[in-house]
Amino acid sequence: MKFAILFGGASYEHEISIVSAIALKRVLKSPSTFIFLDADGNFFLIKPENMRSDHFSSGAYKKDEKITPVQGGFERRGLLGSKRVDGTDTVVNLVHGAQGEDGTVAALMEFYDIPCIGPSKEASVISYDKWFTKLYAKGLGIETVEYSLLRIDDEREIPFDYPVIVKPLRLGSSIGVSVVRGKEDLDFALDVAFEFDDKVIIEPFMEGIKEYNVAGCRTSSGWQIGTIEAPVKKEFLDFDQKYLDFSRTDAVAAAQIPKELEKRLIEEFKKIYGDIFEGALVRCDFFEREGEILLNEINPIPGSMANYLFDDFASLLEELAASLPKKRNIRPNYAYINRVQSAKGPKTGSSR
């Protein structure tokens, strides 16, 4: 199967999306089509040999062919008419951050009836906004870290003892995130976070806590759960670490954890995935504290699609593509209007 890898976008995570797409190119068995979405909303068809980071940073991509989304795929337009671009009938949404994870791409693909591996509009809304994620988890009976929501015009008071961690509400890749160890550093951390969003989440910073990443999806053959990873890191993954993390393609060693904990993590993942994330491959990051499991975040489009957590990622992607939910095709038949017009009787008067 040939996939159309959609990446880029107008986001603070634009560069990370490029890195993810380059990593995915190395992983997929079959040739793929690469579609770059620039910051101005233009789509470019990128030749596989041009899938290098400097091709985008230099602006060389602007010489590539522009394409346009249409019903069921993408097409190139020229003086002699339009022609469908081969290999664009199933898109993989790899646009990290805004546009890709906020539901914009999902809505566009749905509007044009283009099958797309990635979070739906509803799933995007829940996972992109950290506050909504916590509310969603609470509704499922899943614990999360305590938090305080702070708006840009609110008084800068927090209900927790230090240290705390400050996060922009709708941003990933640790951009704008700070660990604050004393009141004297709070204003600066908030100023940084408010550069990226007008709302922030503040949480107690829990040192020495264990973290586990669980990735997977549900296909027509059942649940597909990857290797559970226990990431080795500093106090938190900063942007540079996340940048490198998104380029990974090598398989990771499974976390050495008791079977009971593994079972509980997978159960929590399945609850979160539910029906709402159908058609997406997601990664959930959990904390474990003295036997208590806490959801940290939902990654609806994990870096390089978390390929390194699966033994045969290419086959998994093909299976997921074959299991995408079918869109209900609604065709108006104008029966109501015709009935009303019929009840009114024939039109009278002359026409000119």
pLDDT in tens, 291-337: 899 999 999 999 989 999 999 999 999 999 999 998 777 888 888 89
What's the confidence (pLDDT) of residue 346?
72
Residue 349 has pLDDT above 70, yes or no: no
What's the confidence (pLDDT) of residue 142?
98
Q: Would you list the domain boundaries of the chain?
A: 3-117, 126-143+207-323, 148-204
Pairing of strands 91-93, 4-8: parallel
Residue 246 has pLDDT above 80, yes or no: no
What's the confidence (pLDDT) of residue 252?
79
- 300: cis peptide before it, omega within 30°? no
What's the confidence (pLDDT) of residue 234?
59
**How confident is residue 247, by pLDDT bands cut at 50, 70 and 90?**
low
CATH, domain 3-117, list 3.40.50.20, 3.30.565.10, 3.40.190.10, 3.40.630.30: 3.40.50.20
Percentage of the chain beyond pLDDT 70 is: 93
Which of the residue ranges 175-184, 189-198, 234-243 would you say has the lowest mean pLDDT?
234-243
CA distance 278 to 121: 11
Kindly provide the b/e burial profile for residues 10-49, where b requires at least 16 CB atoms within 10 angstroms of the residue's own CB: bbbbbbbbbbbbbbbbebbeeebbbbbbbeeeebbbbeee
148-204 under CATH 3.50.50.60, yes or no: no
CA quadruple 20, 22, 26, 29: dihedral sign: positive
Q: What is the pTM of this model?
A: 0.89
Matching fold, domains 3-117 and 148-204: no
Backbone φ and ψ of 7, nearest 5°: -150, 170
Q: If you classify domain 126-143+207-323 with CATH, what class do you get?
A: alpha beta
**pLDDT tens profile 38-94:** 999 999 999 999 999 999 999 999 999 999 999 999 999 887 788 999 988 899 999
Q: Work out the angle between the directed axes of helices 130-140 and 259-273 (0-180°, nearest 10).
A: 110
- The 43-46 sheet, strands edge to edge: 81-84, 73-78, 65-70, 43-46, 33-37, 4-8, 91-93, 116-117
Residue 248 has pLDDT above 80, yes or no: no
Question: CB–CB of 33/3 below 8 Å?
Answer: yes
To 5 degrees, how large is the angle CA 27–CA 32–CA 37?
Answer: 105
CA distances from 20 to 27, 34, 247, 277, 305 (A): 11, 12, 6, 21, 8
What's the confidence (pLDDT) of residue 10?
95
**How confident is residue 1, by pLDDT bands cut at 50, 70 and 90?**
confident
CA distance 224 to 322: 14
CA distance 142 to 125: 18
What's the confidence (pLDDT) of residue 341?
84
**How confident is residue 174, by pLDDT bands cut at 50, 70 and 90?**
confident
**pLDDT tens profile 93-105:** 999 999 999 999 9
Residue 239 has pLDDT above 80, yes or no: no
